Amino acid sequence: MARYLPNPVNNLMADAMHGRISRRDIMKKGTALGLSSALMGTILRAESVGAQGTPAAAMPAGYSIEVPAGLPDLTGTTLNVMLGADGPGAAFDQANCDIFAEATGATVNYLKGAESATDRLTFYQQTFASSSNAFDFAMIDVIWPGILATHAVDLSEAVANSGVTYFDRIMQNNTVDDVLTGIPWFTDAGLLYYRTDLLEKYGFAAAPATWQELTDMATEIVAGEAASNSSFTGFTFQGAAYEGLVCNGLEWQFSNGGGTIIEDDGSVSVNNPNTIAAFERAKGWVGTISPQAVTGYMEEDGRGVWQAGNAAFMRNWPYAYSLGAAADSVIAGNFDVTSLPMGDMEGSSNAATLGGWQAFVSKYSESQEAATAFALFVASPEVQKARAIERSGLPTIADLYTDADVLAANPFFERLLDTFQSGSVARPSTASQDLYGEVATEYARTLNEILNGTASEVGAAVEDLAGSLEDIMADL
Amino acid sequence: MAVITEQTVPATKTKYSRAPKTAVGRQQERLGWILVFPSVLVVLLVALYPLYETVRLSFTNARLASAREVRNVGFENYQRILEDGLFWSSLQRTLTITVAAVSLEAVLGMIIALAIHSNFRGRGLVRTSMLVPWAIPTVVSSVLWGWMFHDNYGFINSLFYRLGLQDAGLRSWIENPATALGVVIAIDVWKTTPFMALLLLAGLQIIPSDVYEASTVDGASKWQQFWQMTLPLVRPALLVALIFRTMDTFRIFDLIFVLNAGATTTMSVAIYVQQELIQNGRLGYGSAGAVIIFFCIGLMVLGYSRLIRVEEG
């Protein structure tokens, strides 16, 4: 059976399916949650199926997808679509394909891409290098438009005709030389997770607003907890030398007024006092409020520590929310999320690195129009809404953040709309185009060396980094 | 292996030095060529062609799936690599890992080989179970040790704390620059000592037992027997084992890649090249790195084969 995220809507659905709740109570609870009549109808249907004694099978992933109007007739067309990796999200992706196939008459083959984004990009590049039409449609990371632009079908006209307004920030990010390389599909942004019970225990009224506050609060909590829990740490983040550290580092420096590593005009801006100060502060965390091993942590390492109840704060993506709130989580009910803190130097602001995935159509495809229709379908408001409800996927359409069904499933969406819509900062992938990989490697290596102490002088290390980045950009 | 080369090299030398005189000889030679042709073709396709491609790419500025124009840049890639401090530090690190791991493996492997060469109850079982670390795929053992060395829920920290060797708390092993390389060497030694022991055991088994009996009659101590008989007699097998292990360890990749891929504290030359080739998509530059590794290993093999030849007089 597909696993549903533990949120009020899904709980209600599960109760309905298993006949644990009467139709009258479903109506009552559903109204209290502010559910749309369509969703309520679905739940009631689940109840009637459940009452007949065939629960799970009747409620497949994709149950909340409403088929958008105006899909073309594609009978006879075969599409190979490269969607998510095998895993908890695969059933939903499969449902996307099946529903599209049924509505249009096309044959849709779901190809499961690699889980590691780096491996996936390599596979795409190798496929494109041979001008292969092995797949017509693919999901691409928010940092790849610059790298893959020359292999993309321009989707700007299709989006304009669809009448849907996507987040402007992501549309800009995905546009390379006036070519829209991908439709914003679902987004991601760095968040601060914090333990509400511990903040209360140590007398803090609110989540930290600045990095300094976070440092002070974590120091105090670690000092207090150390006696009873030797594995306790204050703050976990992604500190290993990989793409995740680029996201964290960009947040530290941008929130301290330190710019975006390489600015939109292609100039390398990383060597500035604000960035150096931000890196100095992060270096100070390692071995104090953060474990020394944080310099080898990726998302899941830090989440493991956090979800075991061994950390006061964590920087992570939204996916960790539903996992932390799950019934088997020891911190369920004792944590919340908010925007990442800001710095204290001139030009400081909140910052969250923009992540997420785009719907991309390969220019080597022989069915570009059908693939474009599929891209518009998965990124349509209807399907994005279903992805938000079933998979906690962050929509790229502002209206969905005020949608009652979506908010019932993900209460924190509403508060963070600003962060997702405009507060997020993009990695310099558009400015560095196909050389972004080199920029990211160099940046992550340097920052990792600063954190683990191999590079003892932060200022000198950042100066070297700027030199290397300028060399890379000179090749552009 | 050493024995085979000794026998065949002189034979082929005389054969190729002159053309066959008789019709039968020529016919036989033709048949020989026909018979080896498929193997030669396979070698050309799977070994020489990729090598040729790598060398060719190393003189260009090619990039993975890039629309950029590929042009010949001469030795620029080589020049840039040799000017890159990270390349030199990863080369030095790789040599450190190789020397440390291979010598530890040789010493431990010899001790284990000697132990299981002797007669004792359950010898078969011990020989088989000894091979378990070698039988586990490197990626799996690397993940396994990664968890054991984990700072927050690792077994090593817990063990050392219980033994009173360290304070409670989150000691990092893999990420700490002071211990990172030691961890890599330890895992490599754990994994490949059985292989070394197995090759040495094979070498020990071909030593006839009568030489030991004779020397015992002559009053040689066990110690003297080891240094003056066992070691010289097992030397060819030891050299072959060392060649294998040195080449293997110099190319160390998967263990480090799984343990802590991006960190410069444990970066080997193979990791350096992989990151340039795949992560950064610099086919030309990365290929130049691969060619440099190829030459380094070639030099090592030459050195060892000289040693073997000296050995054989």
Each residue's pLDDT tens digit, A110-169? 999 887 777 788 889 889 988 999 999 999 999 999 889 999 999 999 999 999 999 988
Query: And the tokens for A318?
Result: 């939204």
In a mutational test of the A interface, the residue from B170, B174, B183, B276 whose CB has the highest number of chain A CBs within 10 Å is B170
Would you state the pLDDT for residue A346?
92
259-278 of A, contacting B, C-beta below 8 A: none
Would you state the pLDDT for residue A117?
75
What is the percentage of chain A residues whose pLDDT exceeds 70? 87
pLDDT in tens, B187-229: 999 999 999 999 999 999 999 888 888 988 998 888 898 998 8
Gap from A452 CA to chain B (nearest CA, Å): 7
Lowest average pLDDT, out of A3-7, A290-294, A334-338, goes to: A3-7
Q: How far is CA A45 from the centre of its chain?
A: 32
B265 to chain A, any CB pair closer than 8 A? The answer is yes
Would you state the pLDDT for residue A323?
79
Residues A454, B279: C-beta atoms closer than 8 Å: no
* Dist CA B275 CA B262 (whole Å): 8
| Interaxial angle between packed helices A90-104 and A368-378, expressed in degrees from 0 to 180 and rounded to the nearest 10 | 120
Residues from chain A contacting residue B174 (CB–CB below 8 Å): 293, 296
Q: B184 vs B103, B244, B260, CA distance in Å?
A: 15, 19, 10
Handedness of CA B201, B203, B204, B210 (dihedral sign): positive
Gap from B194 CA to chain A (nearest CA, Å): 30
Closest Cα in chain B to A118: B279
pLDDT in tens, A23-49: 556 656 656 555 555 555 555 544 444
Side chain identity at A399, as an amino acid letter? Answer: D
| Interaxial angle between packed helices B180-205 and B123-130, expressed in degrees from 0 to 180 and rounded to the nearest 10 | 140
Q: Which of B153, B174, B264 sits opposite A296 (nearest CB)?
A: B174
* 8 Å CB contact between A208 and A214: yes
pLDDT band at A56 (very low <50, low <70, confident <90, very high): very low
pLDDT in tens, A409-441: 888 888 888 777 777 888 998 888 888 989 999
pLDDT in tens, B51-91: 999 999 999 999 887 778 899 999 999 999 999 999 999 99
What is the percentage of chain A residues whose pLDDT exceeds 90? 63
Gap from A21 CA to chain B (nearest CA, Å): 41
A125 to chain B, any CB pair closer than 8 A? The answer is yes
Residues from chain A contacting residue B170 (CB–CB below 8 Å): 230-231, 233, 291-293
B133 to chain A, any CB pair closer than 8 A? The answer is no
Residues from chain B contacting residue A310 (CB–CB below 8 Å): 152
* Dist CA A274 CA A346 (whole Å): 8
* Dist CA A225 CA A448 (whole Å): 28
Would you state the pLDDT for residue A418?
79
Would you state the pLDDT for residue A74?
93
Burial A63-100 (b: 16+ CB within 10 A, else e): bbbbebeebbebeebebbbbbbbeeebbbbbbbbbbbb
Q: How far is CA B134 from the centre of its chain?
A: 13
Residues from chain A contacting residue B262 (CB–CB below 8 Å): 240-242, 245, 441, 444-445, 448
Highest mean pLDDT among A15-24, A324-333, A347-356: A347-356
One DSSP character per residue, A269-329 reads ---SHHHHHHHHHHHHHBTTTB-GGGGG--HHHHHHHHHTT-EEEEEE-THHHHHHTSTT-
* Dist CA A393 CA A187 (whole Å): 7
Residues B151, A452: C-beta atoms closer than 8 Å: no
Say if residue A163 is exposed, middle or buried (CB neighbours under 10 Å; 0-12, 13-18, 19+): exposed
* Dist CA A283 CA A155 (whole Å): 43
What region, left, alpha or beta, does residue B221 occupy, with left being phi > 0 and alpha being psi -120 to 50 degrees? Answer: beta
pLDDT band at B268 (very low <50, low <70, confident <90, very high): very high
Q: Which of B65, B153, B175 sits opposite A128 (nearest CB)?
A: B65
Would you state the pLDDT for residue A39?
56
Residues B172, A293: C-beta atoms closer than 8 Å: yes
Q: Which residues are bridge partners to A152 per DSSP?
A: A362
* Dist CA A281 CA A394 (whole Å): 31
Residues A293, B64: C-beta atoms closer than 8 Å: no
* 8 Å CB contact between B57 and B64: no
Interface A-B, measured as beta-carbon pairs within 8 A, has a size of: 104
Q: Residues 6 or more apart from A246 whose CB is under 8 A from it? A: A353, A427, A440, A443, A444, A447
Nearest to A319 by CA among A331, A340, A337: A337
Nearest to A409 by CA among A3, A2, A9, A1: A9
pLDDT beyond 90 at A221: yes
Q: Residues 6 or more apart from A218 whose CB is under 8 A from it? A: A234, A235, A289, A312, A313
Would you state the pLDDT for residue B12?
46
* Dist CA A353 CA B285 (whole Å): 30
Closest Cα in chain A to B171: A292
Residues A125, B65: C-beta atoms closer than 8 Å: yes
Residues from chain A contacting residue B86 (CB–CB below 8 Å): 445
Which ranges of B138-230 does DSSP label H, i.e. alpha helix? 138-148, 155-162, 180-205, 209-217, 222-225
Handedness of CA B28, B29, B32, B33 (dihedral sign): negative
Would you state the pLDDT for residue A108?
96
Would you state the pLDDT for residue B163?
87
Query: And the tokens for B121?
Result: 């109850």
pLDDT band at B291 (very low <50, low <70, confident <90, very high): very high
* Dist CA A345 CA B198 (whole Å): 63
pLDDT beyond 90 at B152: no
User: Can you tell me the mean pLDDT for A205-220?
Assistant: 96
A291 to chain B, any CB pair closer than 8 A? The answer is yes
Closest Cα in chain B to A298: B260
In a mutational test of the B interface, the residue from A233, A235, A292, A443 whose CB has the highest number of chain B CBs within 10 Å is A292
Query: What's the predicted TM-score (pTM) here?
Result: 0.81
pLDDT beyond 70 at B1: no
* 8 Å CB contact between B277 and B81: no
* 8 Å CB contact between B191 and B252: no
Q: Which of A129, A242, A296 sits opposite B65 (nearest CB)?
A: A129
pLDDT band at A67 (very low <50, low <70, confident <90, very high): very high
SS3 labels along B89-137: HHHHHHHHHHHHHHHHHHHHHHHHHHHHHCCCCCHHHHHHHHCHHHHCC
Q: Which residue has the higher pLDDT, B163 or A46?
A: B163
* C-alpha neighbours within 13 Å on the C-beta side of residue A129: 15
Q: Is B300 helix (H, G, I), strand (E, B) or coil?
A: helix
ipTM above 0.90, yes or no: no
Mean pLDDT, chain B, rounded, equals 88
* 8 Å CB contact between B183 and B174: yes
* Beta strand extents in A362-410 (DSSP E only): none
Q: Residues 6 or more apart from A42 whose CB is under 8 A from it? A: A13, A63, A64
pLDDT beyond 70 at B305: yes
pLDDT band at A89 (very low <50, low <70, confident <90, very high): confident
Side chain identity at A279, as an amino acid letter? Answer: F
Q: Is A441 helix (H, G, I), strand (E, B) or coil?
A: helix
Q: Which of B151, B176, B262 sits opposite A240 (nearest CB)?
A: B262
Residues A233, B262: C-beta atoms closer than 8 Å: no
Q: B191 vs B95, B162, B186, B188, B220, CA distance in Å?
A: 18, 26, 9, 5, 35
Gap from B66 CA to chain A (nearest CA, Å): 7
pLDDT band at A58 (very low <50, low <70, confident <90, very high): very low
Q: Residues 6 or more apart from A90 whose CB is under 8 A from it? A: A84, A112
User: Can you tell me the mean pLDDT for A277-289?
Assistant: 96
pLDDT beyond 60 at A70: yes
Closest Cα in chain B to A440: B280
A292 to chain B, any CB pair closer than 8 A? The answer is yes
pLDDT beyond 70 at A369: yes
Residues from chain A contacting residue B151 (CB–CB below 8 Å): 291-293
Residues from chain A contacting residue B175 (CB–CB below 8 Å): 292-296, 452
In a mutational test of the B interface, the residue from A231, A286, A432, A449 whose CB has the highest number of chain B CBs within 10 Å is A231
Closest Cα in chain B to A294: B175
* 8 Å CB contact between B70 and B60: yes
pLDDT band at B5 (very low <50, low <70, confident <90, very high): very low
Residues from chain B contacting residue A147 (CB–CB below 8 Å): 281
pLDDT band at B151 (very low <50, low <70, confident <90, very high): confident
pLDDT band at A408 (very low <50, low <70, confident <90, very high): confident
* 8 Å CB contact between A46 and A102: no
Would you state the pLDDT for residue B128?
87
Query: And the tokens for A459?
Result: 């200022």
A441 to chain B, any CB pair closer than 8 A? The answer is yes
Burial B63-73 (b: 16+ CB within 10 A, else e): bbbbeeeeeeb
Gap from B293 CA to chain A (nearest CA, Å): 21
Would you state the pLDDT for residue A157?
96
Query: And the tokens for A216?
Result: 């002070």
pLDDT beyond 50 at A1: no
Place of tokens 């099978």: A57
| Secondary structure element (H or E) that encloses residue A277, with its range | helix A273-285
Residues B175, A308: C-beta atoms closer than 8 Å: no
B107 to chain A, any CB pair closer than 8 A? The answer is no
pLDDT band at B2 (very low <50, low <70, confident <90, very high): very low
199-258 of B, contacting A, C-beta below 8 A: none
A443 to chain B, any CB pair closer than 8 A? The answer is no
pLDDT band at B160 (very low <50, low <70, confident <90, very high): confident
pLDDT in tens, B7-53: 444 444 444 556 667 888 889 999 999 999 999 999 899 989 999 99
Residues from chain B contacting residue A128 (CB–CB below 8 Å): 65
